[in-house]
């Protein structure tokens, strides 16, 4: 999707890709859901019908952004953001060669502040996401609902089974190019930088999406969303512009927090592997959580506007960490590829497609591709 990207007090900006992705034809998807519902983990006919209904409402309400811009008395800030979205999709298509088609050329009104709710779960003493299986996208580490009460019911069901759970709201989702996704009205509350990141993120999903590889898909789209936004505003307004400088700063904050979370996960993994009683692991993990939050607060004490400032106050469990793990997984690996490709995002995207085209675990495939091409570069230099 997301996640997916994350908004509000926690700065959670990337929950933009919930798992209830609709297929090419509503009828096919609904029939498949009805026939296979008894075989699909946690997926009832009602779930598919609701997803199709909500997607249908979104698509029915679409109108071209160009027409919406002609609305009398449209606020200047709204005009600027809509114009930015059109410029972003042009950049994605004509510069980055992403699969844009008709996505984000239209606008659709949404009559509620939170579009969807994502449920994330994990075992209490394992850093392993609970996954749901869907016909179109395979195993995914989250499940999306259009109803808060339905999301809460799913979280409660898993909690009773002994899982940690968390629920996050989602501002948008991708149909992976099966439909021409519109810009949803509530996205206009975001600033131009964040809005651009969302659009680039979703358009990358249209271009590269590996079935069953949720963490890779979301972290890769997270990386592309940020790097594309940096390049876009650099080209549009110049390297010294406030927009470009802010985009660079936000990506640095993302990388900083991703490294911090990776260290926390290593510490917790060591604790969970210890041969001690579960109740002791649960007790000791609370100490690890408390230390990590204190350390994070110390690190960013002089950065009150840091996008992840809320981490030091939020309730923690393994599901929360798995949420972060999905969207912040191996970001430095993508940065390494970007550096190898001469900090050229077009070449980086092409390399991502090449590295993962033969299947297998995508992070491992990317590491192998990097090793091979680094060796080749060294040999050529020699």
Give me the mean pLDDT over the 33-51 stretch.
52
Structure tokens at 242: 């406030």
pLDDT of residue 177 exceeding 90, the answer is no
Q: Of 96-105, 167-176, 246-255, 310-319, where does mean pLDDT reach its minimum? A: 167-176
pLDDT of residue 142 exceeding 90, the answer is no
Q: pLDDT confidence of 71, banded at 50, 70, 90? A: confident
- Give pLDDT tens digits for 327-368: 999 999 999 999 999 999 999 999 999 999 998 999 999 999
Distance CA 85, CA 99 (A): 15
pTM: 0.85
**Residues 341-346: contacts with CB within 8 Å, 24+ apart?**
345/96, 345/224, 345/227, 345/228, 345/231, 346/95, 346/96, 346/97
Give me the mean pLDDT over the 34-39 stretch.
36
Burial class (CB in 10 A: 0-12, 13-18, 19+), 256: middle
């Amino acid at each position: 999707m997301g996640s997916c990207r994350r908004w509000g007090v926690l700065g959670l900006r990337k929950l933009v890709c919930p798992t209830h992705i609709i297929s090419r034809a509503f009828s096919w998807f609904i029939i498949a859901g009805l026939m296979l519902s008894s075989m699909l983990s946690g997926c009832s006919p009602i779930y598919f019908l609701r997803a199709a209904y909500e997607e249908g409402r979104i698509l029915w309400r679409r109108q071209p952004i160009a027409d919406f811009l002609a609305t009398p008395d449209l606020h200047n800030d709204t005009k600027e953001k809509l114009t930015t979205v059109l410029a972003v999709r042009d950049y994605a298509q004509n510069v980055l060669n992403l699969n844009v088609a008709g996505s984000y050329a239209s606008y659709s009104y949404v009559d509620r502040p939170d579009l969807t709710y994502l449920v994330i779960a994990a075992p209490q003493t394992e850093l392993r996401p609970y996954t749901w299986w869907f016909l179109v996208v395979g195993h995914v580490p989250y499940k999306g609902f259009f109803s808060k009460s339905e999301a809460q019911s799913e979280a409660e069901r898993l909690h009773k089974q002994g899982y940690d759970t968390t629920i996050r709201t989602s501002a948008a989702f991708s149909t992976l190019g099966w439909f021409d996704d519109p810009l949803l009205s509530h996205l206009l509350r975001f600033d131009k930088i964040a809005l651009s990141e969302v659009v680039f993120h979703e358009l990358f999903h249209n271009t590269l999406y590996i079935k069953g590889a949720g963490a890779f898909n979301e972290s890769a789209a997270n990386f592309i969303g940020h790097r594309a936004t940096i390049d876009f505003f650099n080209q549009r307004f110049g390297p010294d512009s406030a927009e470009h400088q802010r985009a660079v700063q936000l990506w640095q904050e993302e990388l900083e927090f991703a490294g911090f979370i990776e260290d926390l996960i290593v510490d917790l993994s060591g604790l969970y592997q210890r041969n001690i009683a579960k109740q002791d692991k649960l007790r000791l993990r609370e100490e690890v959580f408390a230390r990590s939050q204190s350390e994070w607060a110390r690190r960013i004490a002089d950065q009150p506007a840091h996008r992840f400032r809320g981490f030091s106050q939020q309730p923690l469990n393994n599901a929360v960490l798995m949420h972060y793990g999905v969207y912040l997984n191996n970001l430095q690996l993508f940065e390494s590829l970007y550096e190898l490709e001469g900090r050229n995002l077009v070449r980086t995207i092409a390399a991502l497609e090449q590295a993962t085209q033969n299947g297998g675990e995508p992070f491992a495939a990317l590491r192998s591709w990097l090793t091979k091409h680094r060796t080749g570069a060294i040999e050529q230099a020699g």
